[in-house]
Amino acid sequence: MSSLRSLAQSILDNVDVIESCLEAKGCPPPSWDVNAQDWLSNADSRDLRKSRETVLSATKELHDLLIGPRELIQVMGEHHNDLISSQAIIRYGIANRIPIDKKISYAELAASCGIHEHVAQRLLRHAILRRLFIEPQPGMVAHNAVSRVLLEDEQMRDFLAVSVEDLWPAATKTVDALQKWQKSDLPHETGFTLANNSTSSIYHVLAAEPNRGMRFANSMGAYSANPTYSADHVLKGYPWRSLPPAASIVDIGGSHGSIPIALAKEFGDINFIIQDLPMIIESVPALPDEEWASRVKFMSHDFFTEQPVKDADIYYFRWIMHGYADSNAAQLLKHLIPALKPGARILINDYVLPEPGTVSWWSETRARVVDITQIEILNSRERELGEWKGLFAMTDPRFKMLNAWTPEGSALGFIEAVWQPEETKPVDM
């Protein structure tokens, strides 16, 4: 069987699996209709996830093979245009200018935006080819399932806004930054820095512009809403019941504590301390008067200073380390050392980058897109297994990495190390 037929057959076989999963859950098939259901979250299952990834990967390979090498390069070069229509949709608030249950003319839309009708038409017709909005009849535009998400989901709207207003400009300056600051791992020597005419890191830039900072923070909620980032993967992905009675866990950089709260509700004999900067802790809503809440505490702490909570069983970092180059990530770990008892665990919940070709094209692409984003905004990185081992080794040989794994269906993996001070000599801080 030719590679084209083999790919086509794989697509057909796995579409059959997907349709069977949808039918078993009573879900209608995927659709662009404005009233279409969120079929993926309603029918999520192991078989569906696996077949979906296979279809997405196979269709991409089939697509690229049929384009051919020369035209594929041309298509790559044209990708710079893709975000123009998206930026216009965000900048002009176009999703909010179109009623959810009506169609309007390009002339009406252009007038409300203050642009030429032909410009509005060209921008929207480009967006429509990328599944944003529909043209139900010539000269008219209306919502579809995708644009409805932009209209109704603030987190997803902010995610696209950050992509086109913050990350896109940074991306265009990233190679300039690599040339200007060769081999730098400093967070203020990035494409984002150049794009913002700044000498500060993204954290300082966003802190100085509260509305922009809030938009960025809100956009991160779009990740949390994705099933691959669900707290359920944390609850089921680590042997929490194997911890000693009344175990203590410190969630470092844990924001409002969504993960510890989920764990506290599920496991009745674990105590949690969530640490973050004062401005974050001050914004934490009051906890309800329930038993689990008595085991959840919040504390202001800068994780670039010495850890004040001594002798905890686990020090937990969720999606923190990927924001720091090895030199700074090692400092985070070193600041734990005075607090660690023998046998204390360091549990990192972050990407474990796959070796090339060891997972589906779709999964590997999602991970490497995030990795490239770290270069453009922070000079940081996602890490492969060997790079996680190297981070602990360079920090202090008394950290012994035990294991790393990624639960099925999860974007983030677990990296676990233990503190064994009796075996080796310390590294100077």
What's the pLDDT tens digit per position in 336-382? 999 999 999 999 999 999 999 999 999 999 999 999 999 999 999 99
Amino acid found at 388 = W
**pLDDT over threshold 50, residue 124:** yes
Taking phi over 0 as left and psi of -120 to 50 as alpha, with beta for the rest, 257 belongs to: left
Compare 92 and 217 and report the one with higher pLDDT. 92
CA distances from 82 to 20, 77, 130, 165, 370 (A): 34, 11, 8, 14, 19
What pLDDT is recorded for position 41? 72
Please count the other Cβ atoms lying within 10 Å of the Cβ belonging to residue 157: 22
What pLDDT is recorded for position 428? 47
The position carrying tokens 């999703």 is 95
pLDDT > 90: what percent of the chain? Answer: 89
What pLDDT is recorded for position 423? 61
224 band by pLDDT with thresholds 50, 70 and 90: confident
**pLDDT over threshold 80, residue 426:** no
Q: Give pTM, 2 decimals.
A: 0.91
What pLDDT is recorded for position 304? 95
429 band by pLDDT with thresholds 50, 70 and 90: very low
31 — phi, psi (to 5°)?
A: -155, 155
Contact call for residues 266 and 237 (beta carbons, < 8 A): no
**pLDDT over threshold 80, residue 416:** yes
CA distances from 66 to 4, 7, 62, 63, 129 (A): 9, 12, 6, 5, 19
What pLDDT is recorded for position 1? 58
d(CA 315, CA 303): 12
What pLDDT is recorded for position 45? 84
Classify residue 397 as exposed, middle or buried by CB count within 10 Å of its CB (0-12, 13-18, 19+): middle
Average pLDDT over residues 397-407: 96
The position carrying tokens 């600051």 is 181
- Give catalytic residue positions: 322
For the segment 235-285, what is each residue's pLDDT rounded down to a tens digit? 999 999 999 999 999 999 999 999 999 999 999 999 999 999 998 899 999
Alpha helices in 283-360 (DSSP H): 326-334
What pLDDT is recorded for position 221? 84
Length of the chain: 429
Strand ranges for 182-340 from DSSP E: 247-252, 270-276, 296-300, 314-318
Question: Which domains occur in the chain, in start order?
Answer: 3-67 (no CATH), 78-152 (1.10.10.10), 154-225 (no CATH), 227-419 (3.40.50.150)
Compare 56 and 428 and report the one with higher pLDDT. 56
**pLDDT over threshold 80, residue 43:** no
424 band by pLDDT with thresholds 50, 70 and 90: low
For the segment 178-203, what is each residue's pLDDT rounded down to a tens digit? 999 999 999 999 999 999 999 999 99
Of 426, 23, 41, 9, nearest in space to 230 by CA:
41
Please list, in sequence order, all residues whose beta carbon lies within 8 angstroms of the beta carbon of residue 427, skipping any fewer than 6 positions away: 334, 395, 396, 397
Average pLDDT value over all residues in the chain: 94
Contact call for residues 249 and 314 (beta carbons, < 8 A): yes
